[in-house]
Structure 1
Amino acid sequence: MSTLTPEMESLKARLKATWMAGDYGYFARYLEPGALAFLERLSIAPGTRLLDVGCGAGQIAIPAARAGVRVTGVDIALNSVEQARTRAQAEGLDVRFDEGDAEMLAFEDGAFDLVVSLIGAMFAPRPERVAAELVRVCRPAGRIVMANWTAEGFVGQMFKTIGKHVPPPPLMPSPLLWGNEATVRERLRDGVAQLQLSKRLYPFDYPFAPSEVVEFYRTYYGPTNRAFATLDAAGQTALRSDLEHLWAQNNRATDGTTRYDAEYLEVVAIRATAD
């Protein structure tokens, strides 16, 4: 395993702090319908060994465990891991949640039947390592499934809007490249026998107006929270204005609430079997 450069070590520390900011467990409550729809399409049989990479507060790990799946979840944000553990313990579920890095998964080769990342591993700074690790810990003929925001979709546009005010780190390729079909085919070229890519829509439904949604993200969603924190008062006002405009422009609700669908790329790969 190669040693991290000081620059990469610093970047990874900043990314960890970003995802520990806010309160992802609370933020993710509004993401549960889309997470459950994603999970349902996986049709996971009871007893399957599942690794959830970037598990957050257990949005898919916990319902999968309820259905008898043998679940392990990892995330770089320790506070999210602790929230997931608390939820699992409250329900009496046997789920393992660990602090972990998608680029350096602490599991043996072929340890899992199914490796999943719902809007998680796409944010790691070294995508080639992520791809290799997802494949490595999946057993031969097992599945690797990802959901990744596209650059063209609403969340992609939100990140671009934030990036105009707070430039992304130069060492890190855009996470939205994980939503590009050609890029994914290149990254998952080795060790994969089959690859299926599908564009899907993730539902977002908030019982409050777009201006309140922006404040909700600023308070609870780590990347937005940290972006605002780096700006002075004028910068925060400008960012808030641009985000409110984006949300209002894309809002499909007409009753004072906020509703939209965000495009993502669903990636389903089958690990190649040994020769």
Structure 2
Amino acid sequence: MTTAPSDDSALKAKHRAMWALGDYPAVAAEVIPELGTVLAGAVAAGPGVRLLDVGAGSGNAAIPAALAGADVVASDLTPELLDVGRALAEQRGAKLTWEQADAEALPYADASFDAVMSCVGVMFAPHHQPAADELVRVCRPGGTIGLANWTPQGFIGQMFAVLKPYAAPPPPGAQPPPLWGSEEHVTALFGDRVTDVVAQRRTVRVDRFATAEEFRDFFKATYGPTIAVYRNIADQPDKVAALDEALAELGRRNDLGRGAMDWEYLLYTARRAG
């Protein structure tokens, strides 16, 4: 088993707390509901498939996979998100297992899943190589690895670039999440341990917000990384005002009309070699 660096406990605690801020399940359900269904289909979730969802959150991909008939384990670092997922799964009649787990040190045996997936989840693990190693390790030879991750060039990649000057410095060794949306980066992470790679840059249509300001205010209230950045500058009103305007401008720049936006992501599938 690949193990995360031994001094990471404080960093992981901080990540857990960040994703418990606000209401990420509202983001998944109201803003990007189709993304999980697309990924579950891409990994051919269905009867007879034992599937692990890494960074599952509240089950945006895990629940559709379970409803398709797969035997699903939904894992996430943040137990508050899993609690919401359990309730959502019960409402929708989906049966699956929910377990707290660190993407960089998964508590599962080698080759124990037919498919391993992550829907804008594993990309937020701070150390990319250990996380990639774990995805490969727990997938059986010939099994499928499937990822949907925001690209650096797309809307969320742009948003993180806007947030960066106002955020606390990242811890040593932590890598930017949107790198997982770069085919070259993911190719380097997996190397020759995977075959039959299919990498497609796609977009998801987001029409939840009527205005750029509505997008900004929703993400200020619900999205953990945005909330954390605003907390970092809470005692600097000039910076708060500047970030408010920068996020609104981001929304205006990407507005296709009446608030609709296309957010780019990389849909990546591969088979574990061996």
- TM-score, normalised via structure 1 length: 0.92
Deviation track 1:68-102 (CA, whole Å, cap 9, x = no partner) reads: 11111011111100001112233443210111111
SS at match of 1:146: strand
Alignment of 1:43 onto 2:44 = yes
Against the structure 1 CA distance between its residues 43 and 5, is the aligned structure 2 distance closer, same or farther, given a 3 Å change threshold?
closer
The CA distance in 2 between the partners of 1:2 and 1:75, in whole Å, is 16
1:192 corresponding residue in structure 2: 194
The CA distance in 2 between the partners of 1:152 and 1:39, in whole Å, is 24
2:242 is matched with which residue: 230, 238, 245? 238
Mean Cα deviation higher: 53-62 or 89-98: 89-98
Mean Cα deviation higher: 136-145 or 201-210: 201-210
Deviation track 1:91-125 (CA, whole Å, cap 9, x = no partner) reads: 44321011111101111111111100111101101
Compute the displacement of 1:3 (Å): 7.0
Mean Cα deviation higher: 16-25 or 161-170: 161-170
Compute the displacement of 1:194 (Å): 3.2
Which residue identity is paired with 1:199?
Answer: R
1:61 corresponding residue in structure 2: 62
2:53 corresponding residue in structure 1: 52
SS at match of 1:102: coil
Q: Unaligned regions of 5+ residues in structure 2, if any?
A: none
1:205 corresponding residue in structure 2: 207
Contact 1:148 / 1:176 at 8 angstroms: preserved in 2? yes
Alignment of 1:245-256 (within 5 A): 245-254=249-258
Mean Cα deviation higher: 102-111 or 29-38: 29-38
Q: Unaligned regions of 5+ residues in structure 1, if any?
A: none
The CA distance in 2 between the partners of 1:92 and 1:35, in whole Å, is 17
The CA distance in 2 between the partners of 1:3 and 1:210, in whole Å, is 39
SS at match of 1:189: helix
The CA distance in 1 between the partners of 2:129 and 2:114, in whole Å, is 21
Contact 1:75 / 1:100 at 8 angstroms: preserved in 2? yes
Contact 1:77 / 1:99 at 8 angstroms: preserved in 2? yes
SS at match of 2:271: strand
Paired positions, count: 269
2:180 corresponding residue in structure 1: 178
